[in-house]
């Protein structure tokens, strides 16, 4: 966890209440942080640029990685020094750590004023009223899904996230998400499309649809509920909204990569040829122990069908190294399948036991040194593959959507999600045709061809 040195200061003294939200974890958490900001604004707060300027500090947390609770409590302790200068400052924890650990957080952190879990965020305003009255509050009970406040919380953005599925029904043995996020809930397609229209009107040109298992959208108990559309149909509806140029989504499960979704990826121009599809291990024995619901052969079959329909697709995958019982032979199978897949990019993590999960009962028998050495071998293999991918793009034409700009330069991502820096300025939100000229530190460099 990265943070800056705390300097104790006062607020501006203008009577305005200010909130600072520090978000940890994935893109879904980042999107939820925006929703929290919107709720706080509805309750009369303005956004602070840093914790030292804030009257309300919210740590929006992730519990996927090891020692998440200790890191968050350490951050609360660091921020509590602000209360010495300004006792009225309130500090709260929201998100997955809040949902998993609840009241124990208040007991362990004197400077903490409230804990609000993932299933109770819709009641944040009521919690803030109680906290402002002097209570210390814990709310991790069940609640309705939190619909986002109308419009973007921070004004226009070129790229935005939209949650379409909350929770997960998979119960993989290593994963805490079903215990902190609850069961799958698919937002109505009309509500999602209305949110995308609001974002488009505010200047957004690319949306990424989010879900712990995003391509399970619309399913209830493995089947689509009455009146729900498929994920492929949802992609079509979102892609038809103007002026949205690009649609992405993450993260998918191999079991739901059906022919209809492959067809959508291949035939809807706005849907980017970029697919995060976690495999987790190259060993069928470990996949069964992880309760992933597919074999390596079944995964490769789906990938083969996808690449036959969309040869240029950039495939991304996740892997866990050092799952309990992983042998060197199991790990060799992972290396072999990564070499075969030729992934555009890869996310790999050392296994750590998470509370409530089935795998936690297995302990953590593989030494950290072994896990670390295996992880480095896997990442080294992927670096070689990624370098070859990037080098093969030199001389090609790529479209980028300009997300950042400065004096004499602009930067964005290709449709396959590779970062590319242009050698001249270009308008934010413009689609620009670029000739790739070089690769530098893993990033593409390019020269201007045309702008749309």
Residue 423 belongs to domain with CATH number: 2.40.50.140
State the alpha helices, DSSP H only, in 253-406.
259-267, 284-290, 296-309, 328-341, 368-393
Residue 445 lies in a domain: yes
Statement to judge: residues 186 and 78 lie in one domain: no
Statement to judge: residues 84 and 160 lie in one domain: no
Statement to judge: residues 39 and 104 lie in one domain: yes
**How many whole angstroms separate alpha carbon 389 and alpha carbon 314?**
10
Domain extent at residue 423? 394-451
Residue 317 lies in a domain: no
Cα angle at 13 between 12 and 17, to 5 degrees?
A: 80
Statement to judge: residues 116 and 174 lie in one domain: no
DSSP string, 372-439: HHHHHHHHHHHHHHHHHHHHHHTT-EEEEEEEEEETTEEEEEETT--EEEESS---TT-EEEEEEEEE
243 upstream amide cis, omega within 30 of 0? yes
- Predicted pLDDT of residue 71: 85
Helix (H) or strand (E) holding 130, with range, is helix 124-132
- Predicted pLDDT of residue 55: 95
- 343: its two tokens: 């992934």
- Predicted pLDDT of residue 85: 86
DSSP string, 111-124: T--EEE-TTSGGGH
- Predicted pLDDT of residue 388: 96
Statement to judge: residues 21 and 112 lie in one domain: yes
Statement to judge: residues 225 and 132 lie in one domain: no
Residue where a domain stops, chosen among 247, 272, 297: 272
Task: Please state whether beta strands 345-350 and 114-116 pair in parallel, antiparallel, or not at all (unpaired).
Answer: unpaired
- Predicted pLDDT of residue 366: 97
Residue 309 lies in a domain: no
For the chain, give me the number of helices (H) and strands (E)? 14, 21
Residue where a domain stops, chosen among 110, 139, 168: 139
Q: What is the CATH number of the domain that holds 107?
A: 3.40.50.2300
Dihedral sign (CA 21, 46, 107, 357):
negative
CB-count exposure of residue 98 (10 Å: 0-12, 13-18, 19+): buried
Residue where a domain stops, chosen among 272, 291, 324: 272
Statement to judge: residues 86 and 51 lie in one domain: yes
- Which stretches of the chain drop beneath a pLDDT of 50? 1-12, 226
Residue 370 lies in a domain: no
Please state the length of the chain. 452
Q: How many domains does the chain have?
A: 3
Residue 358 lies in a domain: no
Helix (H) or strand (E) holding 31, with range, is helix 27-42
SS3 label, residue 262:
helix
Statement to judge: residues 88 and 166 lie in one domain: no
Statement to judge: residues 31 and 130 lie in one domain: yes
- Predicted pLDDT of residue 154: 60
Residue 320 lies in a domain: no
- Predicted pLDDT of residue 219: 76
CB-count exposure of residue 120 (10 Å: 0-12, 13-18, 19+): buried
**How many whole angstroms separate alpha carbon 281 and alpha carbon 289?**
11
SS3 label, residue 170:
coil
**For the whole prediction, is pTM greater than 0.85?**
yes
- Predicted pLDDT of residue 10: 40
CB-count exposure of residue 328 (10 Å: 0-12, 13-18, 19+): exposed
Q: What is the CATH number of the domain that holds 232?
A: 3.30.750.210
Q: Assess contact for 419 and 394: CB atoms under 8 A.
A: no
Statement to judge: residues 26 and 126 lie in one domain: yes
Q: Assess contact for 304 and 259: CB atoms under 8 A.
A: no
Residue 418 lies in a domain: yes
Dihedral sign (CA 29, 30, 32, 36):
positive
Neighbours of 284 (CB within 10 A): 16
Residue 6 lies in a domain: no
- Predicted pLDDT of residue 234: 97
């Amino acid at each position: 966890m990265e943070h800056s040195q705390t300097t104790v200061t006062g607020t501006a003294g203008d009577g305005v209440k200010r909130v600072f939200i520090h978000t940890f974890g994935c893109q879904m958490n980042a999107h939820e942080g925006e929703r929290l900001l919107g709720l706080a604004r509805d309750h009369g707060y303005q956004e602070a640029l840093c914790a030292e300027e804030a009257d309300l500090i919210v740590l929006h947390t992730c519990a996927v990685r090891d020692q998440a609770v200790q890191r968050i409590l350490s951050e609360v302790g660091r921020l509590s020094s602000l209360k010495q200068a300004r006792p009225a400052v309130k500090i709260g924890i929201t998100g997955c750590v809040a949902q998993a650990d609840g009241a124990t957080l208040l007991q362990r952190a004197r400077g903490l004023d409230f804990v609000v879990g993932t299933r109770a965020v819709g009641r944040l305003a009521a919690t803030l009223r109680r906290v402002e009255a002097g209570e210390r509050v814990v709310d991790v009970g069940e609640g309705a899904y939190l619909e986002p406040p109308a419009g973007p919380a921070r004004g226009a953005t070129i790229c935005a996230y939209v949650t379409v599925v909350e929770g997960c029904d998979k119960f993989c043995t290593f994963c805490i998400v079903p215990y902190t996020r609850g069961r799958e809930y698919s937002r109505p397609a009309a509500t999602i499309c209305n949110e995308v229209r609001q974002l488009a009107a505010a200047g957004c040109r690319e949306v990424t649809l989010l879900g712990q298992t995003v391509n399970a959208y619309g399913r209830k108990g493995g089947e689509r509920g009455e009146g729900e559309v498929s994920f492929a149909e949802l992609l079509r509806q979102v892609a038809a909204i103007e002026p949205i140029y690009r649609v992405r989504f993450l993260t998918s499960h191999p079991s739901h990569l059906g022919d209809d979704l492959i067809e959508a990826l291949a035939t809807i121009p706005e849907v980017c040829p970029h697919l995060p599809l976690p495999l987790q291990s190259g060993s069928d024995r470990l996949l069964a122990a992880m309760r992933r619901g597919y074999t390596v052969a079944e995964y490769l079959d789906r990938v083969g069908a996808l690449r036959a329909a969309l040869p240029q697709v950039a495939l991304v995958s996740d892997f866990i190294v050092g799952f309990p019982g992983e042998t060197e032979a199991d790990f060799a199978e992972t290396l072999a399948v990564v070499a075969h897949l030729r992934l555009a990019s890869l996310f790999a993590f050392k296994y750590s036991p998470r509370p409530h999960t089935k795998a936690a009962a297995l302990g953590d028998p593989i030494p950290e040194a072994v896990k670390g050495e295996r992880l480095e071998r896997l990442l080294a293999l992927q670096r070689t593959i990624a370098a070859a991918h990037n080098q093969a793009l030199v001389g090609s034409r790529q479209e980028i959507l300009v997300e950042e700009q400065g004096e004499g330069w602009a930067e964005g991502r290709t449709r396959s999600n590779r970062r590319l820096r242009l050698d001249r300025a270009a308008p934010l939100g413009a689609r620009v045709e670029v000739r790739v000229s070089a690769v530098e530190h893993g990033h593409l460099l390019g020269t201007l061809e045309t702008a749309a």
